[in-house]
Amino acid sequence: MAWFEGVLEECLGLLLAMWWEFSWLNVAFIMAVTSLAILKIIAGIRNRTFRNRGLGLAALGSAILNMATLFCLPTALLLALYGFVIYLQPSVSRAFRESAAVA
């Protein structure tokens, strides 16, 4: 029975070490995804008044980084594609330029 206790203690030690490592990875992942979400929110607020077109394009480009979340990937890719089609139209570019000239 003594060998079993040694193996059990070793397994528990490995599980604790893995949990500690994965918990830090999860925290880093959650912080990255949250910062991308905040970027998108700020860009959306700024773009409602036709400001910071570059920030809006960067926020759309960050949708590609949502691949890590897997469940959000299809929606994020479709919205990014639609957003790029809209942002790259000449009339939208003109609206951002006119808004910048007024401000």
31-63 tens-digit pLDDT: 888 998 899 999 999 999 888 899 999 998 888
Q: Which of residues 22 and 99 earns the better pLDDT score?
A: 99
pLDDT at residue 5 tops 70: no
The model carries a pTM of 0.71
Six token digits for residue 23: 């918990």
pLDDT in tens, 70-100: 777 788 888 888 989 999 999 999 999 998 8
- pLDDT of res. 2: 58
- pLDDT of res. 89: 93
